[in-house]
Amino acid sequence: MAPIALLSVSNKHGIVPLAESLHRIHGFQLLSSGGTANVLEDAGLPVTRVSEHTGAAEILGGRVKTLHPRVHGGILAMRGDPDHEVDLEQHQIPPIDVVVVNLYPFRETVANPQVSWETAIENIDIGGPAMVRAAAKNHAHVAVLTRPDQYDRFLVALSDGVDGELRRELALEAFEHTAAYDVAISHWMGERLTEQASQWLEAIPLRQRLRYGENPHQQAAWYSAPKQGWGGAIQLQGKELSTNNLLDLEAALATVREFGYGTDGAHQAVQDAAVVVKHTNPCGVAIGTGMASALSRALDADRVSAFGGIVALNGLVDATTARELTSLFLECVVAPGFEPEARKILASKANLRLLELAPGAVDASGRDHIRTILGGVLVQDQDDQSIDPTSWTVASKRSPNAEENEDLTFAWRLVRHVRSNAIVVARAGQSLGVGAGQMNRVGSARLALEAAGDQARGAVLASDGFFPFDDTVRLAANHGICAVIQPGGSKRDADSIAVCDDFGLAMVLTGKRHFLH
């Protein structure tokens, strides 16, 4: 009897080449339903429809089609088990060897904020998760594919025989697929029903109990989806992570990703960059020619504040970079990877927490930024959209030169990761002064400019929000700032622009603010 592959997918990318290889090269009988069967038939492939296989027509408008003993018996049967073999023969159920299933596009459907409750509910898959979980449970005998990017790897392995390790990996990815799907459903329903944050958290696995929260008298726990975001981080050494460590790591990673992250994936590192964070605010950020150079420049930006800080690097840590990391006391370091020699050097700092976070885990972390408030949660998109300097306008009489434009772009990348009111002074790919979290913008500017000192002359200044008065621009001009970047939109923009023209400063308006509370 020919082996059977069951194919039922919402995302049909790559399904025809996969089915062709399974049938024409490896001799599989193709079993399918609904739209997937139509696509395969249109491609000229012989397909047995699930309704023909089960002898039961699809009912309830397609809600019930694969929920049948002849489907699930074929998936769940353990080969070689005498009782199972008897049941299969008695009920004439052929075993199913490969299950290719991905689920109804629930997340894509509810991404539309206007989607109706009824439409969203109809896009909750039932038969799909049941087949995926059944195949994953019986992975010793059944291979389960849930994403198009698995197809080529599986076909290569199929030629030599799919080994147990690959079956286990596919099963794990299948359970993660259905788990993430269930989280998305419970997340959306929780928002719509205004459930409390504690109810929403029940859908996310508990990673670990933390020693305490922000202070020793506060209990704390860390919930995280496996292999997603910080749930995919590997702690290589050091003390147990704390609540404050994780908050600072999150801020550091978000900042360093402005310059790319890792050596593959969506956030490929295009510039070697290093970030030092203290109390969720970057105190030193720099790019360099090599990771060690970037780190040294980031630390030099403010070595006093860097003491006891959190460091994020966007590329592989080598021995030279590791020696720089041991030059002062740090709490945590996160990077995409560490060379063996770097690990040996950093081992001398036994309490230093080293985290290896792969780009894939970062890319899988999702688009939602979630915070709790009393009795509920706030959910918004991440503020991580690409920066587009071509959309900016020059408001002053003088336009910035090429070098100033580079500095303005660097400062604008950084300022959105500083707590509002945020001011950044920068030059030549290095932060020189940061003003964060002040109750008025001129106060933040004063802190940033004083931190920069004499280095402010010829540097640029970025502000996350517009200038309500011209006092910040006057202060910047008096410290020798040559160019300013800000969103614009104040009723008094003309006053600030006039000060720039009086002092010969260039002013660029981005048309977009980046508050971070």
At 361, is the secondary structure helix, strand, or coil? helix
At 53, is the secondary structure helix, strand, or coil? helix
Count CB atoms within 10 A of the CB of residue 46. Answer: 10
Burial class (CB in 10 A: 0-12, 13-18, 19+), 122: middle
Placement of tokens 């004063």 in the chain? 446
Q: Nearest to residue 346, comparing CAs of 316, 319, 365?
A: 319
Q: DSSP class of residue 317?
A: B
**Please, what sign has the CA dihedral across residues 420, 425, 431, 433?**
negative
**HEC letters along 60-83:** HHHCECCCCHHHHHHHHCCCCCHH
What is the set of active-site residues?
137, 279
Report d(CA 87, CA 77) in Å as an integer.
Answer: 9
The CA-to-CA distance between both ends of the chain, in Å, stands at: 64
Four-CA torsion 475, 481, 487, 493, nearest 10 degrees: 50
Four-CA torsion 244, 247, 251, 257, nearest 10 degrees: 120
Q: Which residues pair with 60 in a beta bridge?
A: none
Count of alpha carbons within 13 angstroms of residue 122, beta-carbon side: 8
Q: Which two tokens stand for residue 276?
A: 């030092």
Evaluate whether 406 touches 259 at the Cβ level (below 8 Å): no
Burial class (CB in 10 A: 0-12, 13-18, 19+), 490: middle
Q: What angle do CA 207, 208, 213 make, to 5 degrees?
A: 120
Evaluate whether 418 touches 464 at the Cβ level (below 8 Å): yes
Report d(CA 256, CA 315) in Å as an integer.
Answer: 10
Four-CA torsion 484, 490, 494, 497, nearest 10 degrees: 0
Helix, strand, coil content of the chain in percent (nearest 5): 45, 20, 35
Q: What angle do CA 417, 418, 423 make, to 5 degrees?
A: 125
φ/ψ region of 80 (left if φ > 0, alpha if ψ in -120 to 50, else beta) reads: left
